[in-house]
Amino acid sequence: MDRIKPRTLSGFMELLPQKQAKLERMMQILRQTYALYGFAPLDTPAIEDAQILLAKGGGETEKQIYRFQKGDSDLALRFDLTVPLAKYVALHYNELAFPFRRYQISKVYRGERAQRGRFREFYQADIDIIGDGKLDILNEAEIPAIIYRVFRGFGLTRFQIRVNNRKILNGFYSMLGLTEKNGDIMRTVDKLDKIGAEKVAAILTEDCGLSQAQAAEILRFISIRGTNAQVLSALESYLGRDELFDLGFGELTAVTKNLAAFGVPEENFAVDLTIARGLDYYTGTVYETTLLDHPEIGSVCSGGRYDNLAGYYTDKALPGVGISIGLTRLFYVLDEQGLLNPALSGAPADALVLPMTQDSAPAIALAEQLRSKGIRIQLYGEQKKFKQKMSYADKLGVPYTVLLGEDELAAGKCSVKNMTTGEQVTLSPEDAGAYILTGLAGNNGPLILEK
């Protein structure tokens, strides 16, 4: 037979079982946390009408999108989960209850230039809350509180959710008479972390046409630092000069206060006036999240408040707030930095049951009994030498093996071997189950280890 060399496309993550188990654990934490906050799981198609996905149009998206014909249809793969959400809410408006809260953890597709750590197929894990006409500011505090729970669930403590408000920025630019340039200014300021203050000032004066005084005023503003209380207090000196600014200040104050009520410690969130998010889309609170020991990664979770989710599809005003975790990239980075807890088992089973007699029936019954207690059991039926069986157990990484030979059968017992310590005990099936469960419970470390 002519054989084809098997390969996986570059830019597409395909994990070995042990690693996949850890990614699945992250997804499970995401699903559980999102559900705990009353978000409904949503699952839109990966393929949509290309016209609908590209309603907004615009450069990078059009270039990166996977678009193709099938019959007469002009199709494309989704490149994010926001556009499909907008379509969904516009399409099913009459059948949904608002505020509508949904989470979606799905793959999206972007045919970017292949590059280490860049993926063409990757998971996004999004939450959004969509209002009908209005949406209370309380939601803008809840979103980062949920992200705090997710990251703590992963085992992370050294992260910071940075919060700002676009109304404050727009209001401030309006005070300087720079409203028409605020898009350019924000995109420039957004690069502060990457290029530094000096270059930002240079771009503002040379490319955006600001005066030296205006640029200096902006740099002074975004250099306001300190505790959240100190930053808010510094902002008070600007109050009364611009309505939008004052509105934004009220929102940022409310979000800060409520985030504390949600139990998010001050060390895990920071009011940061340099956060702007490049997109015009955002109109209020904006978020970025950084791993404090890995600032080079940039934001691993970003989002914000927007006024008009689905303007391309409906005349209904649908304001919302949302945040997105680039899960595949986050996982890749955590793995590369060696932060995935190696002590946490990625084995597909908690125990391997090894029948040592001709008749498999007693081993099958034992396996079923242990499974009924929630223990993940693999039954190993292959005719191999004992040494090969144990070497298989080692390769899988199962924490326990359960042996059932003639002696054990005669005594109504089974032998349980702890594969880490080598310790072996002979127990009744009932006690064996309890023994394994106790051992597994002590084995439950965090998913991520911070160094």
Residues 144-203 that bind its own copies (CB under 8 A): none
DSSP for 71-117? TTEEEEE-S-SHHHHHHHHHHTGGGS-SSEEEEEEEEEE--PPPBTT
Q: Minimum CB separation from its own copies for residue 241, in Å?
A: 28
Q: What b/e string do you get for 231-261 counting C-beta neighbours within 10 Å, with b at 16 or more?
A: bbeebeebeeebebbbbbbebbbbbbebbee
Strand partners, 355: 404
Give the range of 63-71, 212-220, 238-246, 266-274 binding its own copies by CB under 8 A: 63-71
Residues 260-299 that bind its own copies (CB under 8 A): 261-263
- 22 interacts with its own copies by CB under 8 A: no
Q: Minimum CB separation from its own copies for residue 72, in Å?
A: 12
- 95 interacts with its own copies by CB under 8 A: yes
- 342 interacts with its own copies by CB under 8 A: no
Give the range of 102-110, 172-180, 195-203, 416-424 binding its own copies by CB under 8 A: 102-110
**Closest CB to its own copies among residues 271, 349:** 349
**Closest CB to its own copies among residues 55, 208:** 55
Q: Minimum CB separation from its own copies for residue 390, in Å?
A: 12
Give the range of 60-68, 162-170, 412-420, 423-431 binding its own copies by CB under 8 A: 60-68
The site string for its own copies over 112-131 (x = CB under 8 A, - otherwise) reads --------xx---------x
Q: Minimum CB separation from its own copies for residue 258, in Å?
A: 6
- 90 interacts with its own copies by CB under 8 A: yes
The site string for its own copies over 348-377 (x = CB under 8 A, - otherwise) reads xx--x-------xx--xx--x--x--xxxx
Distance CA 92, CA 309 (A): 14
Distance CA 258, CA 256 (A): 6
- 322 interacts with its own copies by CB under 8 A: no
- 409 interacts with its own copies by CB under 8 A: no
Beta pairing class for 400-404 and 159-165: unpaired
| Total residues binding its own copies (CB under 8 A) | 102
The CB density around residue 277, as the number of other CB atoms within 10 Å, is 20
Whose tokens are 């894990």? That residue is: 125
- 87 interacts with its own copies by CB under 8 A: yes
Residues 386-405 that bind its own copies (CB under 8 A): 392, 395-396
Of 256, 290, 378, 415, the one binding its own copies (CB under 8 A) is: 378
**Closest CB to its own copies among residues 171, 304:** 304
User: Can you give the three-state secondary structure of 264-326, one letter per residue?
Assistant: CCHHHEEECCCCCCCCCCEEEEEEEEEECCCHHHCCCEEEEEECCCCCCCCCCCCCEEEEEEE
- Residue 189 CB contacts under 8 Å (≥ 6 apart), including other chains: 200, 218, 222, 274, 276
φ, ψ at 144 (rounded to 5°): -65, -25
Tokens linked to 337: 């930095």
Q: Minimum CB separation from its own copies for residue 234, in Å?
A: 24
CA distances to 177, 220, 278 from 205, rounded to whole Å, are 15, 15, 19
What is the length of the chain?
451
**Closest CB to its own copies among residues 83, 210:** 83
